[in-house]
Amino acid sequence: MLLLMQQLKRMLVHEGGIPPDILAVTALSAAGSFANGGLAPILGEIASYFGVSFTALGILTAAFAFARVLIDLPAGTLADRIRPATMFYVAAGISVFGGLVAALAPTFILLVTGRIIQGFGVTLTVFTATAYIGRRARATERGRMMGIANVANPIGELLAPLTVGFAAAVAGWRTGLLLTLLPTIGTLVLVPILIQGQVAAGVIQKQIETKDSWQQKFPIKVHLLLGINLMTAATSLANFGFKSTLFPLFGSRILRLNPALIGLAIGVAAAVRFPLSLASGMLSDRIGRMAVFAPGMVALVLGALVLPTTGTFGPYLGFALLYAVGAAASHMVYTMVVDRAPSDQLGSALGTNQLFADVATVGMPVALGLLIDAAGFGGAGMAIATFGALAIGIGLVVGDTSPGRNRESDRTQC
C-alpha cells in the first residue's frame, strides 16, 4: 500500500499539480454535498408516505440549513483546536448516524431530526476541509487550491439527484437516503492514507510561512473581516435566491416546463461550475480576487434582471449558465477570509463568515415567495440583482485581499 501511495503522489504532485491531500479533503466535502443534494428527487415519495404538507417538506428541505446555523460557530472553533484527521472521523460518525436515523425513521419528525443530525456532521466536514486547505496552501496558490475545494458542491449537486433518484425509483426512498451515506463512508479510507492528520491545526500554515517568509500576513483588521462577512451575506442572498426560488419557480409556473427540463438546466449549471471553479481560483491568484468576483456577480445580476422576460427553454438554459458563472466566482469570499484571517483562528473566522451567510439565507425562499406574490417575478429578480450589486459594492470597499497585491498598502495602514 505504501508503494502504491508513493506512486500516486509521483503522478499527482508536480509543478502546478494538485497535492493528493487536497484532493482527499475535496472528496470528503463532495461526499457531504452529495448527502445534502440527495433529498430533492425523493421529496414527492416522502410526502406521499407520511402524508405531509408542502410546508412540512420545506422544513425537511431546510434541515441542513438549520443545522448549519446552530453549529457554524462551534464547528469553526473545533476546526482550530482538533487535528484534521480526528475531526473528519467524528464528523463522518455524526453524519452516518443522522443518515441512519433519517432513512429508518418511522415518523416524519424523526426524519427531520435525522437530517438535522446528518447536517451537523456534513457542516463539521466542510469546515475542517476548508480550514485544512486554507492552511495547507501557499499564499501564491491559495486561490487555485480554494477553487479546487469549491468543485465539491457542483459534484454533489450533479451526481446526487441522478443516483438517489434512480435508487429510489427501484427500491424506494429509504434506499435512496441510505445511498447518501456511501460516499461519506467510502471517502474515509482517504483520511489515514493522505490527510496530514499528524499535523496540529495551524502548524501546516506556519511551516509554509517559514519557507515563504515574504508572504507573511499583516495584522488583521476586524472591520475588513466584517466587510467580507457582509459581502458574503449579500452574495449568498443573490446566489441562493436565484438557485432555490427564482429560477425553478419561473421555469415551472411561467414557462410550464416539466421537472425533467428544469432538472436538466440545473444539472448543466452544476456541470459547468466544475471547470469554472477551477479556472476562477487559478485566475484570482494572478489578477486578484475582486477582478474575478465582480464580473461573475455581474453575470448573476444580469441573469436575475433579464430572466423574467424570457419565454422559451433555450434562453432559460442560458440563464442557468449565467448563474454558474456567478456561483463559481462567488467562492472568492471564502478565499478572502482565508487571505485575511490569522492561520490559528481560521476555523473560527470561517465559521463566523458562514453564519452570516446562513442567517441571511435561511428565510430567503419564503421572503422571495411573498415578493413574487406581491410584485411578480420581475420584482423578485430586481431584489436578487440588488443583493448582487450590494455584494460588489462592499467588495470594492474592502479591496483586493490577494497576497502580494496590497502588501505596501497594508504596511502603511497597519
Alpha-carbon Rg for the chain in angstroms: 21
Beta-carbon contacts of 160 under 8 Å, excluding residues fewer than 6 positions away, are 33, 34, 35, 36, 37, 38, 40, 180
Residue 180: strand, helix, or coil: coil
Alpha helices in 104-202 (DSSP H): 108-136, 142-150, 152-171, 173-179, 182-187, 190-194
What integer pLDDT is reported at residue 209 of this predicted model?
Answer: 45
Which amino acid, residue 4?
L
Residue 335 burial class via C-beta count within 10 angstroms: exposed 0-12, middle 13-18, buried 19 and up: buried
Instruction: Give the mean model confidence (pLDDT) for residues 96-105.
Output: 95
193 vs 315: which has the higher pLDDT: 315
Look at residues 383, 397, 35, 70 and name the one whose alpha carbon lies nearest to residue 237: 383
Write down the pLDDT at residue 212. Answer: 45
pLDDT for 411 equals 46
pLDDT at 198: 41
Vertex 217: Cα angle to 403 and 399 (nearest 5): 50
Q: What is the CATH number of domain 222-401?
A: 1.20.1250.20
Average pLDDT score over residue span 205-212 = 45
Residue 213's SS3 state is: helix
Which residue from 137, 146, 153 is spatially nearest to 283, judged by alpha carbons? 146
* 42: CB partners within 8 A, 6+ apart: 164, 165, 168, 173, 176, 177
Task: Give the whole-angstrom CA distance, residue 252 versus residue 260.
Answer: 11
| pLDDT tens, residue by residue, 52-77 | 876 677 678 778 888 888 888 888 88
Indicate the domain borders of the chain.
19-214, 222-401
Q: What is the pLDDT of residue 17?
A: 66
The whole-angstrom separation of Cα 170 and Cα 175 is 9
Quickly count helices (H) and strands (E) in the chain: 22, 0
How far is 297 from 315, CA to CA, in rounded Å?
19
Give percent above pLDDT 90 in the chain.
27
pTM of the model: 0.71
Asked whether the beta carbons of 320 and 268 are under 8 A apart, the reply is yes
Q: CA 411 to CA 414: how far, in whole Å?
A: 5
Q: Which of 119, 26, 24, 23 is nearest to 75 (CA)?
A: 119
Mean pLDDT of the 140-169 span: 78
pLDDT at 178: 93
Q: What is the pLDDT of residue 408?
A: 43
CA distance 200 to 79: 10
pLDDT digits (tens, 9 = 90+) for 305-347: 999 999 899 999 999 999 999 998 888 898 898 888 877 777 7
- Residue 103's Cα: distance from chain center in Å? 24
Decide whether 19-214 matches 222-401 in CATH topology.
yes
> Around Cβ 189, how many Cβ atoms within 10 Å?
10
Distance of CA 116 to the CA centre of its chain: 17
How far the first Cα of the chain sits from its last, in Å, is 50
CA angle 49, 52, 58 (to 5 degrees): 115
DSSP state of 151: T
Largest Cα–Cα separation, the chain: 64
Q: How far is CA 157 from CA 7, 127, 186, 312, 385, in A?
A: 31, 18, 18, 24, 24
Residue 215 has pLDDT above 70, yes or no: no
- Using CB atoms within 10 A of its CB, is residue 40 exposed (0-12), middle (13-18) or buried (19+)? middle
* pLDDT tens-digit series, residues 388-406: 999 999 999 998 887 755 5
Q: How far apart are CA 158 and CA 37, in angstroms?
A: 8
Q: Which fold has domain 19-214?
A: Growth Hormone; Chain: A; (1.20.1250)
Quote the CA–CA distance of 207 and 15 in Å, as a whole number: 19
Using 50, 70 and 90 to split pLDDT, how confident is the model at 7?
Answer: very low
- Span 357-393, pLDDT tens digits: 888 877 777 787 788 888 888 999 999 999 999 999 9
